[in-house]
Amino acid sequence: MLTDNFGRTINYLRLAVTDRCNLRCQYCMPAEGIDIVDRKDLLTYKEMYRITRVLSELGVNKVRLTGGEPFVRKDFISFLEMLSFNRNLDTINITTNGALIKPHINKLETLGIKTINLSLDTLQKDRFKTITRRDLFDQTISTLHTLLNSTLTIKLNVVVQSGFNTDEISDFIELTKDNRFEVRFIEEMPFNGKGLRVTDENWNYDKILTQIKQDFKAITILPTEKSATAQKFKIDHFQGSFGIIPAFTRTICHDCNRIRITATGLFKNCLFDDGVFNIRDFIRSGASDDDLKKVFIETVNQKPKNGFIAEQNRKNTNVSESMSTIGG
Ligand code: SAM
Ligand code: SF4
């Protein structure tokens, strides 16, 4: 089992399958995009499969595939097919911007994918173009409609961006009246290729909830599973629910069960650390499965107590890398 010095058990891997993306969301990367790495420096699917298998033998039973945009990587569906053969994995989920996935939704159902986290920060076409710097609103909405007719669980990820979409928080909650999905409001973090964005207002967890309480009175707090990232709520008689993720205020670290592996194989114990070990290089130097297990156990053991400590321990000073290289 993978346990750390604070008694937390790690069973959840977030794996970035690429650093490439078809959008340029302003809170994630600069307009010109990020310096993508050479293809040879990305983990191959075979390497990703092996890393996941070895981790699953150490108790990891949940994987989220993310990026960059997972569906821009060639043969991503074949990789999902490979992963679905791993019987130690109970849950395979995907985070996607949705623009490319509509033709694959049936296949995702047959492969046993459980949840799609669809990123959608606005319900307004023009605003979508401003935020993502691409004109793909119609494709994303069409994907959402197709997902609603599928068996997949849907979570809508909304990054709350001061000055851009905070006036739509209630519109998103209204959507949960007749739809079965969960809307998740995420605090914006400085992972955008530039660093902390200076804004007039700090749209943190408390401010988001206060705003919601102004517009909705009958709010019930839902029970949260252990290690959940979101505190969940529901408006009475609404079909769906909503959650708030304190990603930047970091009040969820005490029972964190997550590790991350970037598209270049960098192992991260915490979103806020700057990578503790390069597994790709270790594998390419001939490491056996036992070598890998030893390194995973030792590395997880060093997981910092929380995201603030992880940030303090960084060798490179500021938190500013793009979320698309880390894997969100
Ligand atoms: N391209 C896919 C997508 O957008 O869903 C997957 C990768 S993206 C990096 C994963 C998640 O991270 C998305 O929900 C995105 O909105 C979120 N994200 C990206 N940059 C962020 C930031 N600076 N602060 C908070 N969330 C961010
Ligand atoms: Fe691409 Fe996702 Fe980053 Fe937007 S948030 S630029 S869709 S990786």
The angle that helices 45-57 and 76-84 make with each other, rounded to 10 degrees, is 20
Dmax (CA) of the chain: 59
Given ligand 2 and candidates 22, 69, 94, 117, which is best to mutate, with the most ligand atoms within 8 Å of its CB?
69
Residue-level pLDDT at 200: 86
Nearest to 177 by CA among 143, 146, 216: 216
Residue-level pLDDT at 121: 98
Task: Name the phi and psi angles at 282, rounded to 5.
Answer: -65, -45
Distance 99 CA to ligand 1 centre (A): 14
Query: Is 179:193 a contact under the CB 8 Å cutoff?
Result: no
Q: Is 136 left (phi over 0), alpha (psi -120 to 50) or beta?
A: alpha
Distance 222 CA to ligand 2 centre (A): 29
Given ligand 1 and candidates 34, 97, 244, 323, which is best to mutate, with the most ligand atoms within 8 Å of its CB?
323
Task: Give the type of residue at 194.
Answer: K
Q: What is the pLDDT of residues 281-303, one digit of tens each?
A: 999 999 999 999 999 999 999 99
Residues 6+ apart with CB under 8 A from 324: 16, 19, 20, 21, 28, 29, 34, 67, 68, 69
**Ligand 1 in reach of 45 Cβ (< 6 A):** no
Of the listed ranges 66-80, 197-211, 305-319, the least confidently predicted one is 305-319
Residue-level pLDDT at 13: 98
Per-residue buried b or exposed e for 277-310, using 16+ beta carbons within 10 Å of the residue's own CB: bebbebbeeebeeeebbebbeebbeebbebbeeb
Nearest to 138 by CA among 182, 146, 83: 146
Q: Model confidence at 320, in pLDDT bands (50, 70, 90)?
A: confident
**Higher pLDDT pick, 268 / 321:** 268
Tell the residue nearest (CA) to atom 8 of ligand 2: 68
pLDDT at 197 over 90: no
**Ligand 1 in reach of 242 Cβ (< 6 A):** no
Query: Is 98:143 a contact under the CB 8 Å cutoff?
Result: yes
Q: What is the pLDDT of residues 134-148, one digit of tens each?
A: 999 999 999 999 999
Task: Give the type of residue at 12.
Answer: Y
Q: Measured between alpha carbons, how far is residue 179 from residues 96, 144, 149, 176, 237 in Å? A: 19, 11, 11, 5, 11
pLDDT at 194 over 90: no
Report, in this order, helix, strand and coil percent for the chain, each rounded to 5. 35, 20, 50
Query: Is 262:326 a contact under the CB 8 Å cutoff?
Result: yes
Closest ligand to the CA of 67: 1
Residue-level pLDDT at 236: 96
Decide the pairing of beta strands 258-261 and 266-268. Answer: antiparallel
Task: Give the type of residue at 311.
Answer: E
Residue-level pLDDT at 322: 93
**Ligand 1 in reach of 186 Cβ (< 6 A):** yes
Task: Name the phi and psi angles at 11, rounded to 5.
Answer: -135, 15
**Ligand 1 in reach of 299 Cβ (< 6 A):** no
Distance 273 CA to ligand 1 centre (A): 17
d(CA 154, CA 156): 7
Q: Which residues line ligand 2 (CB under 6 A)?
A: 21, 23-25, 28-29, 67-69, 97, 119, 323-324
Average model confidence (pLDDT) across the chain: 96
**Ligand 1 in reach of 247 Cβ (< 6 A):** yes
Closest ligand to the CA of 34: 2
Closest ligand to the CA of 118: 1
Task: Give the type of residue at 14.
Answer: R
Residues 6+ apart with CB under 8 A from 252: 228, 229, 245, 246
**Ligand 1 in reach of 311 Cβ (< 6 A):** no
Helix (H) or strand (E) holding 158: strand 153-160
Closest ligand to the CA of 26: 2
Distance 29 CA to ligand 2 centre (A): 8
pLDDT at 231 over 90: yes
Helix residue ranges per DSSP H, 45-100:
45-57, 76-84
Q: What percent of the chain has pLDDT over 90?
A: 92
Given ligand 1 and candidates 73, 159, 321, which is best to mutate, with the most ligand atoms within 8 Å of its CB?
159
Determine the average pLDDT of the residues in 94-115: 97
Residue-level pLDDT at 296: 98
Q: What is the pLDDT of residues 153-191, one digit of tens each?
A: 999 999 999 999 999 999 999 999 999 999 999 999 999
Determine the average pLDDT of the residues in 107-120: 97
The distance from CA 308 to its chain's CA centroid, rounded to whole angstroms, is 19
